[in-house]
Amino acid sequence: MAPIPLTQDMIIVFAFLIFVALLFIFDLVRVDMAGLLMMALLPLSGVISPAEAISGLSSSAVVSIIATIIIGEGLEKTGVMNHLARLILRVAGKSEARIMILVSASAAFISSFMQNIGAAALFLPVTSRICRQVNVSVSRILIPMGYCVVLGGCVTLVGSSPLILLNDLMAAFWSNNEILFKENPFEPFGLFSVTPIGIALVASAIIYFMVFRKLVLPAVTVKDKDLFLLGHELECTYGREIHQAYELTVPEDFLTKRLDELFIRPKYHSTVICICKKGQKKKKTTIQVPSRSDIIEPGDVIGIISNTDHIHRLTQDLGWELHDELNHMGEILSPDNAGVMEAVVTPRSELVGKTLHKVYFRKRYQVNPIALYRKNKAMFEDISEIRIQPGDALLMFGEWEKFHLVRQKKDLAFTEHIKNEVLHPEKAGFAAGSFALALVLALGFKVQLPIALLTGAIAMILTRVLTLDEAYRGVDWMTVFLLAGLIPFGLAFEKTGAALYLATSLAHLMQSFLTPLVLFLLIGLLTSFFTLVTSNVGATVLMIPLAMNLALQCGADPRMAALLVALAASNTFILPTNQVNALIMRPGGYKVMDYVRAGSGITLLFIIVVITIMYFFYDISA
């Protein structure tokens, strides 16, 4: 196939390609700004029209991402994701490696039967929640999860858009070249024709990250190690008396006592915030707001807020065993569920003139008072017996849901925004039903994915799982504008013929030594490149006819060449241009170079695994 002539528009597009690559590599501007620049500069250069430049905002990819984020927000708000996270934690424990394997494998399995972006959006909040609970940096898990979601789309013929299009594009080529295929009727691929390759890709990626994760994944410091580390202003107010949550076990030789008999607050400036009791038949019961009359007995696990000096003195005096990690109370004391807040007593508060003990503060508000601040002095001893005055500040520990209820009583004015919204488990059925509706429409009734997901998102709002304002706030607009800007760039790459020019030029240069194996390497590399700068669908539509034509010329099987294109169109790991990569970019705190470092090895591994399996287990010769 002779190369087509180079035009001025092609030169402009290649210049933009270099420009965008420099922006990404050197992190000159934020990635969404790079997308916005493309939306403005491409029509100004004349290579595409203004309407085409903003077409990305209404593209199926962008609509799908917005809809899936809203669906994920609804599932998170109703606690549905808590159950999935709890199940994974029960199996994986606190091992970073096991968490990575289980999350990645589960996400890949789900992705093999639904579109990549939906699977990624489903697992994003789960992964974030799990990482916070076990103090693992989410940046160590999200890239493996996201990559395995993309690879999971290669397990079945309905897992990704290129594989869905594969049979139709091959059939069209077959019908247009009937003379060449007189004795070979068209044979479409079956649902599981690619399964061996897909499973090998997922397994190889998980092994790759198991072996090289310390080298290729960003080493982000985990700031949640000290779960209740105060912000700068509160630390200036309360000093280092309040540092973090600790977990201790009461030994078997301890004499049973009431909590107030231990004088933990006055002696050690520490607050007991949780008591986990064994109960009968090894069933554990948890007291999340302990009172002074609660009993401490052998075998109890105690949660205490303190600092390092006080907690070590407490363990020496009482003989309790201090745990290095939160083994029993990881979920209870997780920043997703609970934390420390400061609130000021209002002039009209019912607390004024009374003690916390008199008003049964813990029982009434279901939060633990830790300290009281009055007249530039922080008090930690016997704060339950001090008469409250207007303007007093109370530092408290409790569940976020309880703090929201406290705010409604108007007795206290919080000095900071309460982090988490109140969960509504009573609406979990509506949230799960809305998600199921999107899946049924997409998989059962073959409704286009963006419409199916948008229907699920609208159902979330109509059933009042989310308000419209909450849905708008939940959307990650950085991701939206990144994709919306890069989609018209891909359009320009195809429209000007720049993609076809590259493909035909390379094929022409290598024509003299194109064996089936060399051809398949060329097809894999070309498709992998095009899918980075254009959409995976665009790369597939462009490359399948070209690959099948080249296969016929060098004695290779055109069906296998087309299959390679459809698989290689998922080889999008080096840049955040893929929908999944863009979705996890902000939650993982990633930069473009993080994708380059982690994705380079996976990209090469992808090509090696696919071509090796096709060469030895599929017949690539005609």
Tokens describing residue 23: 């922006």
Could you give the CA distance from residue 92 to residue 95 in angstroms, rounded to a whole number?
Answer: 6
Half-sphere exposure of 428 (CA within 13 A, CB side): 13
Q: Distances in Å between the alpha carbon of 607 and those of 144, 152, 564, 604?
A: 18, 15, 9, 5
Enter the DSSP assignment of 534. Answer: S
Residue 318 and residue 347 in one domain: no
Among 282-291, 359-368, 556-565, 594-603, the range scoring the smallest mean pLDDT is 282-291
Pairwise CA distance, residues 100 & 210, whole Å? 8
Distance CA 560, CA 562 (A): 5
Question: Residue 502: its pLDDT value, please?
Answer: 81
> For 119-138, what is the mean pLDDT?
84
- Say if residue 313 is in the same domain as residue 249: yes
* pLDDT tier for residue 604 given thresholds of 50, 70 and 90: very high
Average pLDDT over residues 74-97: 83
Q: What is the pLDDT of residues 335-378, one digit of tens each?
A: 778 889 999 999 999 999 999 999 999 999 999 999 999 988 99
pLDDT of residue 108: 94
Q: Are residues 385 and 433 in the same domain?
A: no
C-alpha separations of 127 from 86, 139, 223, 421 in Å: 11, 10, 17, 19
Residue 571 lies in a domain: no
Residues 355 and 283 in one domain: no
* Boundary of a domain, candidates 391, 414, 437: 414
* Confidence tier at 36 by pLDDT (50, 70, 90): very high
| Helices vs strands, H then E, count in the chain | 25, 12
State percent of the chain over pLDDT 70. 95
pLDDT for the residue numbered 279: 63
Q: Cβ distance 539 to 569 under 8 Å?
A: yes
Note whether residue 489 is domain-resident.
yes
| Predicted local confidence at residue 365, as pLDDT | 94
Query: Does some domain include residue 92?
Result: no
State residue 236's pLDDT score.
Answer: 82
Eight-class DSSP state of 371: E
Three-state SS across 324-368? Answer: CCCCCCCCCCCCCCEEEEEEEECCCCCCCCCECCCCCHHHHHCCE
Domain that holds residue 352: 341-414
**Contact call for residues 167 and 559 (beta carbons, < 8 A):** no
For residue range 399-412, what is the model confidence (pLDDT) as tens digits? 988 999 999 988 99
- The pLDDT score that the predictor gives to residue 225 is 43
Whether 196 shows a pLDDT value over 90: the answer reads yes
> Residue 8 pLDDT > 90, yes or no?
yes
Do 359 and 313 fall into the same domain? no
Average pLDDT value for residue range 249-276: 93
Domain membership flag for residue 440: yes
pLDDT band at 182 (very low <50, low <70, confident <90, very high): low
pLDDT of residue 175: 81
pLDDT tens across 381-403, in order?
889 999 999 999 999 999 988 99
Q: How many domains does the chain have?
A: 3
The pTM score is: 0.76
Mean pLDDT for the chain? 87
State the pLDDT confidence band at 228, using cuts at 50, 70 and 90.
low
Same domain, 307 and 348: no
For residue 247, report the phi and psi dihedrals to the nearest 5 degrees. Answer: -120, 130
At residue 171, does pLDDT exceed 90?
no
Q: What is the pLDDT of residue 222?
A: 46
Q: Is 593 contained in some domain?
A: no
**Over 50: is that where the pLDDT of 570 sits?**
yes
pLDDT of residue 283: 59
User: What does residue 393 show for φ and ψ, rounded to 5 degrees?
Assistant: -110, 130
Residue pointed to by tokens 């009573």: 426
- pLDDT above 90: residue 237: no
More confident site: 352 or 60: 352
In terms of domains, do 471 and 403 share one?
A: no
| pLDDT per residue as tens digits for the range 477-497 | 887 888 788 778 878 887 888
Q: Are 273 and 298 found together in one domain?
A: yes
DSSP one-letter string for 459-501: HHHHTTSS-HHHHHHHS-HHHHHHHHHHHHHHHHHHHTTHHHH
Say which amino acid occupies 584. I
* 493 in the same domain as 434: yes
Largest CA distance in the chain: 97
> Average pLDDT in the 3-27 region?
87
Whether 544 is in a domain gets the answer no
- HEC states along 142-164? HHHHHHHHHHHCCCCCCCCHHHH
In angstroms, what CA-CA distances link 560 with 332, 518, 552, 553?
53, 14, 11, 14
Tokens for 125, please give them: 């909040």
> Is 64 a domain residue?
yes
CATH classification of the domain holding 292: 3.30.70.1450
Q: Which residue, 266, 189, 269, is CA-closest to 566?
A: 189
> Mean pLDDT lowest for which of 64-68, 296-300, 598-602?
64-68
Q: What is the pLDDT of residue 2?
A: 64
Q: Which of 362, 383, 414 delimits the end of a domain?
A: 414
Residues 373 and 398 in one domain: yes
| Mean predicted confidence (pLDDT) in 115-130 | 83
pLDDT at 385: 92
Give the model's confidence band at 226: pLDDT under 50 very low, under 70 low, under 90 confident, else very high: very low
For 539, which DSSP code? H
Instruction: Say whether pLDDT at 550 is over 60.
Output: yes
More confident residue, 79 or 596: 596
Do the beta carbons of residue 539 and residue 530 sit within 8 Å? yes
Domain check: are 403 and 453 in the same one?
Answer: no
Q: For 546-583, what is the HEC assignment?
A: HHHHHHHHHCECHHHHHHHHHHHCCCCCCCCCCHHHHH
CA angle 179, 185, 186 (to 5 degrees): 105
**Two structure tokens written together for 493:** 């790459």
Q: Is residue 434 part of a domain?
A: yes
pLDDT confidence band for 280 (50 / 70 / 90): low
Residues 314 and 366 in one domain: no
